[in-house]
Chains A and B, each alone.
Chain A
């Protein structure tokens, strides 16, 4: 019997290999967020001062919408050939599967952010006035906040009719405090007014609370019959 971590690692490498070969989720996320960025840029056409105020909101909304594209494919992929049923009857712990899926989505969304952030800087002529290194913890914690709940609610919405619509309906209300923290932290760092520490701590709290809740309840969701 292999350890929970090796199961997580095996599922994670499988997902990343699948994504590397097909690039379905990544390509659609990238193109989708590019469209969002361009449409926002047309509709607001801000000057440098304004873009510092609104860029935090725009960039995170773009990532949130794009992440839903990847999250929707997380579990749907396992329905073909009854992979999920096989997982259910296997003795592997459910949380290993959940962690693998969440980490996989985390990697995809981080890649998306690494590609899209430079584009954002170009389109909105951004120049960071605050401590730019703080954007790294905000990005990591914020992405994990979206992805951990997203992976969980994708598993919840798997059993519903029209599941592609269900996921954002369940995810967005719960994500409101996380999104607000990311947006405010990013705005403060970009504009350089004040200290973003409160928002980073709040994001960390959100991550800890919902990672714990997801790990505690994922088994119930997976085995709900």
Chain B
């Protein structure tokens, strides 16, 4: 498995460079929005990666609660941290695009609000992990992840209803998509998925290593204190 990591890293680098070229040079400029539309090639793949990572976190948390597998917990830590980073990219690039196109930085739209609440839940997840350093931390964190997953559909429905009563600017333009735009978008989607997986994997290995060192140190202090 470990030999696969450099291959994934190389693949990610190639895809990101190719994706950048596709997004900035090859893809045509959008007629009404102009160049600012190119942020889509990063905004949407980041969102996709963040949601995949949060989903991984939920699965890892469930696995941990059922089987108490410490690898699952390490994966939960890694996916939550990297997911928050990607979600932050989404929340930052969104307003940069929205300001020139919608004329406002932020609106309480379904997707925006759900993403923000998801981000808040996972920040509180990381805070919980940071503030609790006992052996029960993984259980508490896994339970919080499940509560968060139950919360997200309710947030979605509440905002959806709220906004159908109070109309808001429509997201994006419909119409046909230039195939070069679609190509650039798909390349970046793939590149960001690989990028997310790679960073998450590196963080997972770091977490496992960190725990091994801690265990070794604990064992050493137990054995190395002859009295």
Which residues of A does B touch, CB under 8 Å? 149, 152, 156-157, 159-162, 166, 169-170, 173-174, 176-178, 180-181, 184, 194, 198, 202, 205-206, 209-210, 213, 217, 220-221, 224-225
- A177 to B140: give the CA distance in the assembly, Å: 22
Is B151 within 8 A of A221, CB to CB? no
In the complex the two chains form, is B157's CB within 8 Å of A194's CB? no
Which residues of B come within 8 Å of A, CB atoms?
65, 117, 120-121, 123-124, 127-128, 131-137, 139-140, 143-144, 146-148, 150-151, 154-155, 157-159, 161-162, 165
Of the residues B132, B139, B143, B155, contact of A161 by C-beta under 8 Å: B132
Residues of B within 8 A of A159 (CB): 132, 134, 136-137, 140
- Of B117, B134, B139, B148, which contacts A220 at CB under 8 A? B139
B124 touches A170 (CB 8 A): yes
| Residues on B with beta carbons closer than 8 Å to the beta carbon of A213 | 146-147, 150
- Report the Cα distance A198→B165, complex, angstroms: 12
| Interface contact A220-B128, CB-CB below 8 Å | no
Contact B134 A194, beta carbon cutoff 8 Å: no
Q: Which residues of A contact B158 (CB under 8 A)?
A: 177, 180-181, 202
Interchain nearest-CB distance for A100 vs B (Å) = 20
Residue of A166, A177, A205, A225 with most partner-chain B CB within 10 A: A177
The answer to whether B136 and A202 have CB atoms under 8 Å apart is no
Q: A221's contact among B117, B139, B150, B161, by CB below 8 Å, is which?
A: B139
Whether B154 and A202, one on each chain, are in contact in the complex, defined by CB atoms closer than 8 angstroms, is yes
Q: Which residues of A contact B147 (CB under 8 A)?
A: 149, 152, 174, 210, 213
Q: A160-B132, A209-B154, A220-B65 are in contact. Are A173 and B140 (CB under 8 A)?
A: no
A173 near B117 with CB under 8 A, answer: yes
Additional A-B contacts beyond A152-B147, A176-B151, A224-B140 (13; CB < 8 A): A159-B137, A160-B132, A161-B132, A170-B144, A173-B148, A176-B117, A177-B154, A177-B158, A180-B158, A206-B154, A217-B143, A220-B143, A221-B143
Interface centre among A156, A173, A184, A221 (most CB of B within 10 A): A173
| A174-B148, A184-B162 known; A224 vs B121 contact (CB < 8 Å) | no
Residue numbers in A under 8 Å from B150 (CB-CB): 209-210, 213
Q: What residues of A have a CB within 8 angstroms of the CB of B120 in the complex? A: 173, 176
Instruction: Pick from A170, A180, A209, A221: contact of B128, CB below 8 A.
Output: A170
Q: Which residue of the partner chain A has the closest CB to B136?
A: A224
Q: How far is the CA of A71 from the CA of B158 in the complex (A)?
A: 26
B140 pairs with A221, CB closer than 8 A: yes
Residues on the B chain within 8 Å of A166, using CB: 127-128, 131
- Bound CA span A156–B133, Å: 13
Q: How many angstroms from the CA of A177 to the CA of B136 in the assembled complex?
A: 28
Shortest distance between the CB of A170 and any CB in chain B (Å): 5
Kindly provide the distance from the CB of B149 to the nearest chain A CB, expressed in whole angstroms: 10
Contact of A225 among B127, B131, B135 (CB under 8 A): B135
A159 and B143 alpha carbons, distance in the complex (Å):
14
With known contacts A224-B140, A225-B135, A169–B127 Cβ distance under 8 A: yes
